[in-house]
Amino acid sequence: MKTTIFEKAGQVAIEEVAKPTIQADDDAIIKVVRTCVCGSDLWAYRGLEDKDDYSANSGHEAIGIVDSVGSAITTVKPGDFVIAPFTHGCGHCAACLAGFDGDCQSHDDNFSSAVQSEYVRFQHADWALVKVPGQPADYSDKMLNSLLSLADVMATGYHATRVANVTTGDTVVVVGDGAVGLCGVIAAKMRGAKRIIAMSRHEDRQKLAREFGATDIIAGGPASVTTYDKQVLLKAVLDGDIHPGKVFTKAFKLDDINAAYQAMAKREAIKSLIIV
């Protein structure tokens, strides 16, 4: 199968590798239909974060079809259409039960990687995958893009508003370095008590705390992707209440992966869609 290899800063390429296989009872293998480039993938691409040359891609957002499942998987079966969140919550630890599956306490491999590929091995799949009704062919291009955004970027933006306690009608400032400011977000609630949330894997949070000395609250962490998708976001997309797929302003084939990274690095695309 084809996968994206991080050759070096400024260069990713497609390589032929073995198709992933089930390695644990709670694994699922997913045939990727759409994936994308994240603002956080660009840190290494721009040479701003250490990443080994010729290593697997850091891509972590996908929708696809379940290809095979391990013996412990009861919630999805081969042929199901799913969102593959970048988080892999177990659904039953204290963090997951409290709605923080981005901080799942059951395992230390809670994040996706290498999904800019034709197939991915998705670990801890039983609760973490989000099943979508029907098949990809049942949905418009725009709707598929919105469903893809539920693997990370929409849920991450939603997480920012949740932890900042933002409600309808509030005025907020969003500052970010990811796609439309949703991957690294500082949102300052402008009305009432000053509340600032800072969520970024790439910023010095202590420094942020000093800069925003008057902050009431600093909160953040990885989004509770599966929780939000199942509780709110999937229905909102399917009902047409939100259209987060608009974030994808350029589309590429998997073979053109470097151009997809380039478009975002040069800010010619807000977020690059990869059709597999």
CA angle 175, 229, 162 (to 5 degrees): 40
Contacts of 110 (CB under 8 A, 6+ apart): 87, 88, 89, 102, 103, 104, 124, 222
Any alpha helices (H) in the chain, and if so which ranges? 41-45, 94-97, 125-128, 141-149, 153-163, 205-211, 225-228, 234-238, 257-265
How many C-beta neighbours within 10 Å does residue 150 have? 28
Count of positions on this chain that bind Zn ion (CB under 5 A): 8
List the x/- string, 130-169, binding to Zn ion by CB under 5 A.
----------------------x-----------------
117 vs 189 by CB, closer to Zn ion: 117
Minimal distance, residue 160 CB to Zn ion, in Å: 13
Q: Does 59 bind Zn ion (CB under 5 A)?
A: no
CB of 202 to Zn ion, least distance (A): 12
Burial (CB < 10 A; 0-12, 13-18, 19+), residue 81, is buried
> Whose Cβ is closer to Zn ion: residue 70's or residue 212's?
70
What is the smallest separation between the CB atom of 192 and Zn ion, expressed in angstroms? 31
Asked if 157 and 228 touch (Cβ cutoff 8 Å), the reply is no
Binders of Zn ion in range 77-106 (CB under 5 A) = 89-90, 93, 96, 104, 106
Nearer to Zn ion, 89 or 244 (CB): 89
* Residue 245 contacts Zn ion per CB under 5 A: no
**d(C-alpha 168, C-alpha 159), whole Å:** 15
Tell me if 38 contacts Zn ion by CB under 5 A: yes
- Closest CB to Zn ion among residues 96, 160: 96
Q: Which residues bind Zn ion (CB under 5 A)?
A: 38, 89-90, 93, 96, 104, 106, 152
